[in-house]
Amino acid sequence: MADSKASFKDKLAQGIGKFAGSRFVRSIIDAGYGVIPFTIVGAIFLILTVLPQAFPIPGFATLYANTLGKFSTMFTVVYNANMGILALIFGGTFTYSYTKIYQAEEKLNVNPLNAVFMFMMAMFITVPQMKMVNGSIQFVQSLKADNIIGGGIAVSASGITRIGSSGLFTAIVMGWLTVQIYRFTIKHNWQIKMPDVVPAGVSNSFSSLIPGLCVALVVVVIDLIFIAMGTDIYNVLYIPFSFVANIANTWWGVLIIFFLIHFLWWFGIHGANIMSSFYTPIALSNMAANVKGAHLFFAGDPANAFIILGGSGATLGMAIWLATRAKSTQLKEIGKVELVPAFFNINEPLLFGLPIVYNVNLFVPFIGAPMVCSMTTYAAFAIGFLPKIIVQQPWPTPVGLGGYIATVSWRGAVVAILNLIIAFLIWYPFIKRYDNKLLKQEEAQKAAEANA
């Protein structure tokens, strides 16, 4: 029976590990990291536009209006120059990474930069809104105040609608399709080869001609089929994206996300990387929507701002206790090593050194602490105490400061510190018992060595 359980556990870990190491997931993770600098740049200029909200000090709003406030429109332009083209940034990074992985692992003569250009072409084919009228394709036109469309291109104060956060799912699919078509054509030698004397830049441009033509034809045919059915690629792909986004914004959806992150981590698999490959586009889209007036919970990076304080498992309070109060030599030394990284949401020394991974003694608090913190955060948001997230703070931002930056409010810092205390209270009885257990083992070993 034990062998059967071990076998199941090994197979589960092996299967999940294989998925986590897939080319698609690795590329999505790279894209998630790739957009962070742009979201931070955008966030800096967004904060400049909401300074009166961040510092509700008497007289400050008037001072702001007479100084920095005069340039708020320009600050918004810079924000939109980042978040307004988020689908292009995310999709382009994904396509580049995905192509580069195939280039390295399959030894294909594919050019990641050319793949990005082909992705851009594919993406912009999906941007115009078109309709079938009397058997011919025509651009959708609208001059309504809430729906301005010219030449099929819908625009808003943020810029072209479909290349912003709402187009993230379309960008991922177009990036995947582009890379697969590019890969297929190169593997089957569908390319124009130039003589060796031709400069590399010219040769590369011609080698992408047939793959690019194939990408365009495939996307156009797919889009035409959907247009004939009264819709288009963007709308068809946006339906599942909206469905998953709605789930992520429910309390039970949040619970499932953080349960899976930590359940996978307990098996030694990077649960945050796997789950973020699914929810990152949703969180980015929700954050952009919040800036425009929406009120969505799962936006930006709520995990590192409020929930997994100190790293996966919400271990900051526990790390402080280990370094200062643990009696076991093993735990005390690990606590000293982990103390500083924990303040920056890094806790691999605890995950693999304590260890937490595969440790049945610590399974309950490792899973339970972040799940409880996710619910206290959700509750604070639901009752209106916690403002919506409008900024994606850098993930290593220390506890309290991260919550403040994410919401541009002192209430964000309060919720984060409250969760830090709650998480430690959940951890305390388990880590205390484990400390006593290891202490007895260490004392027994010392006694045995003394009597040897």
Expressed in angstroms, the distance from the first to the final Cα of the chain is 38
> What's the pTM?
0.80
Question: Does residue 77 have a pLDDT over 80?
Answer: yes
Burial class of residue 205 (count of CB atoms within 10 Å of its CB; 0-12, 13-18, 19+): middle
Question: Does residue 183 have a pLDDT over 60?
Answer: yes
Highest mean pLDDT among 147-161, 231-245, 322-336: 322-336
Give pLDDT tens digits for 323-356.
999 999 999 999 998 888 999 988 888 888 888 9
Question: What's the confidence (pLDDT) of residue 205?
Answer: 66
Pick from 37-51, 94-108, 413-427: least confident: 37-51
Q: How far apart are CA 420 and CA 377, in angstroms?
A: 11
Residue entry with tokens 């709308």: 235
State the average pLDDT for the chain.
88
State the DSSP string of 310-374. TSTTT-HHHHHHHHHH--SHHHHHHHHHHHHHHTTT--HIIIIITT-TT-GGGHHHHHHHHHHHH
Give pLDDT tens digits for 385-397.
999 999 988 878 8
Q: How far apart are CA 332 and CA 334, in angstroms?
A: 5
Give pLDDT tens digits for 404-443.
999 999 999 999 999 999 999 999 999 999 999 999 998 8
